């Protein structure tokens, strides 16, 4: 009875098409806003990481303390993790000199380790089970690793692999389409497919964000980082306001 009530009271949204649209917009915003603070404001990757880390801690704490699912609080916390993921990945890859391959492999290991620890401790990593402080901590730690990994993967694909921003967008769009096809056509674990899609939306957002604000000679559109961030934020707010946001519930 208690377990059923806890699972019914999940503090994360139901996974729908709207969820994925907002998620991609949020990850793109994370890229443009992260670059705006670290580059346009000349704070550098380390200082920007400190700023966004503080914001994320406040947001995650508020999310965990909230008595029930709140759409604005949830998506605000997602944005906090994705902006931090942008500057943290850039700091590790560029300032520390780990490089995109090394950074991606390190973050992939941390992501797998987080999911394994969560599964071992609570018995499931399904999003509809995120209803207690312990499950929420695992959830947000896993998301933080996935957001940072996604940034490194996006930069690796567009820069090191030489595919450019349009090529990177095409690659991750195709991969997401394959995950969607697997959802509809196979019996592969829905939880595994969710986390695969969740990770893949981040590098897609990273390359889209870079495409929007990078210089023309680098293959971008050279749009204002602040302007692009404002438009993306307005889109997210409009989606949250006008599209019903319900908490996830367990499927039986």
pLDDT tens string 33-45 = 999 999 999 999 9
**Is 217 buried (19+), middle (13-18) or exposed (0-12) by CB count in 10 A?**
exposed
- Cα–Cα distance measured from residue 235 to residue 89, given in angstroms and rounded to the nearest whole number: 25
Give pLDDT, residue 232: 96
Min mean pLDDT across 66-75, 116-125, 142-151, 235-244 is at 142-151
pLDDT of residue 13: 93
Residue 252 has what pLDDT?
Answer: 41
Q: What is the mean pLDDT of residues 220-230?
A: 93
Question: Helix 71-90 to helix 190-213 angle, to the nearest 10 degrees?
Answer: 60
Query: Once rounded to an integer, what is the mean pLDDT over residues 158-175?
Result: 88
Band (250; pLDDT cuts 50, 70, 90): low
pLDDT tens, position by position, 177-186: 999 999 999 9
| 9 vs 69: CA distance, rounded Å | 8
247: phi then psi, degrees, rounded to nearest 5: -70, 150
Over residues 18-32, the pLDDT tens digits come to: 999 999 999 999 999
What mean pLDDT is predicted for residues 192-204?
A: 93
């Amino acid at each position: 009875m208690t377990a059923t009530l806890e699972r019914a009271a999940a503090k994360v949204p139901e996974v729908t098409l709207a969820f994925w649209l907002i998620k991609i917009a949020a990850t793109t915003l994370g890229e443009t806003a992260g670059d705006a603070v670290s580059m346009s404001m000349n704070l550098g990757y380390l200082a920007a990481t400190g700023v966004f880390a503080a914001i994320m801690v406040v947001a995650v704490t508020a999310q965990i303390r909230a008595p029930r699912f709140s759409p604005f609080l949830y998506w605000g916390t997602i944005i906090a993790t994705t902006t931090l993921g942008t500057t943290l990945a850039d700091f590790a890859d560029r300032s520390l000199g780990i490089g995109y391959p090394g950074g991606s492999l390190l973050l992939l290991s941390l992501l797998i380790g987080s999911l394994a620890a969560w599964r071992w401790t609570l018995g499931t990593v399904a999003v509809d089970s995120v209803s207690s402080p312990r499950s929420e901590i695992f959830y947000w730690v896993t998301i933080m690793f996935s957001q940072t990994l996604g940034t490194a993967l996006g930069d690796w694909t567009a820069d090191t692999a030489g595919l450019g921003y349009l090529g990177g967008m095409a690659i991750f769009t195709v991969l997401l389409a394959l995950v969607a096809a697997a959802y509809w056509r196979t019996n592969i674990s829905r939880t595994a497919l969710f986390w695969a899609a969740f990770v893949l939306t981040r590098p897609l957002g990273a390359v889209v964000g870079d495409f929007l604000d990078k210089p023309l000679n680098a293959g971008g559109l050279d749009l204002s980082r602040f302007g692009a961030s404002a438009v993306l934020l307005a889109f997210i707010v409009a989606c949250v306001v006008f599209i019903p946001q319900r908490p996830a519930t367990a499927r039986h």
